[in-house]
């Protein structure tokens, strides 16, 4: 036999062993669901496990819409169209919690709704940071500049909501 074949046989043999071992070790329901081979590899049986284990906490604007239809329309027409109500109104600070309707008792809602009027809320998304993209893709207007402010320069010492109408992203 030509000596050049020997390493080839070794490699093919190793590959066969690896594939056999893999067949026994990897669960049969481990797959790239929906044919997305980049991000979808998981054990399909796991989905049920996580669904039973975790209750969804954020309900999205559809939930708020039952009672706040006017606000939904206002925000849908503003620069904050893509930002969920819960992104700004779920509160961890006990002083800022408080919703007139008891959403926990009446709807089994798990989060605390309230209002944060501090600069901190807006800075979370609007602060100029070196690694933040300078543009974003708007649903209707294509690529737009993502206008960032430098909180140290942009009207320091005043609350953003003293000037800005947050739901319209206009001015008061």
Residues that bind ligand HEC (CB under 6 A): 61, 63-64, 66-68, 71-72, 75, 79-80, 82-83, 85-89, 98-101, 113, 115, 117, 119, 121-126, 136, 146-147, 149, 151, 154-155, 158, 160-164, 166-167, 169
Query: Closest distance between ligand HEC and the C-beta of residue 49, in Å?
Result: 27
CB 100 within 8 A of CB 114: no
Q: How far apart are CA 40 and CA 47, in angstroms?
A: 12
Q: How far is CA 30 from the centre of its chain?
A: 25
Q: Which of 87, 86, 74, 154 is nearest to 124 (CA)?
A: 87
Closer residue to ligand HEC in complex, CB, 33/57: 57
Closer residue to ligand HEC in complex, CB, 6/117: 117
Query: Closest distance between ligand HEC and the C-beta of residue 152, in Å?
Result: 10
Closer residue to ligand HEC in complex, CB, 23/129: 129
Closer residue to ligand HEC in complex, CB, 42/61: 61
Sequence-ordered list of residues with C-beta below 8 angstroms from that of 143, at least 6 positions apart, any chain:
135, 136, 137
In the three-class reduction of DSSP (H, G, I as helix; E, B as strand; rest coil), residue 50 is classed as: helix
Query: Closest distance between ligand HEC and the C-beta of residue 51, in Å?
Result: 21
Q: Which residues pair with 114 in a beta bridge?
A: 97
Query: Closest distance between ligand HEC and the C-beta of residue 65, in Å?
Result: 8
Query: Closest distance between ligand HEC and the C-beta of residue 50, in Å?
Result: 23
Sequence-ordered list of residues with C-beta below 8 angstroms from that of 169, at least 6 positions apart, any chain:
78, 79, 80
Q: How far is CA 167 from the centre of its chain?
A: 20
Closer residue to ligand HEC in complex, CB, 8/110: 110
């Amino acid at each position: 036999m030509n000596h050049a074949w020997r390493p080839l046989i070794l490699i093919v043999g190793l590959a066969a062993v690896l594939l056999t071992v893999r067949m026994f070790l990897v669960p049969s329901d481990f797959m790239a669901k929906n044919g997305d081979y980049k991000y979808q590899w998981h054990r399909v049986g796991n989905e049920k496990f996580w669904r039973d284990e975790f209750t969804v906490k954020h309900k999205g604007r559809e939930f708020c819409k039952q009672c706040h239809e006017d606000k939904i329309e206002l925000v849908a027409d503003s620069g904050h169209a893509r930002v969920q109500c819960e992104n700004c109104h779920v509160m961890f600070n006990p002083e800022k919690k408080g919703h007139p309707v008891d959403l926990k008792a009446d709807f089994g809602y798990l989060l605390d709704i309230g209002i944060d009027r501090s600069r901190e809320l807006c800075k979370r998304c609007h602060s100029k940071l070196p690694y933040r993209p300078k543009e974003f893709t708007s649903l209707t207007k294509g690529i737009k500049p993502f206008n960032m402010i430098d909180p140290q320069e942009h009207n320091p010492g005043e609350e953003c909501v003293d000037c800005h109408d947050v739901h319209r992203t206009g001015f008061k």
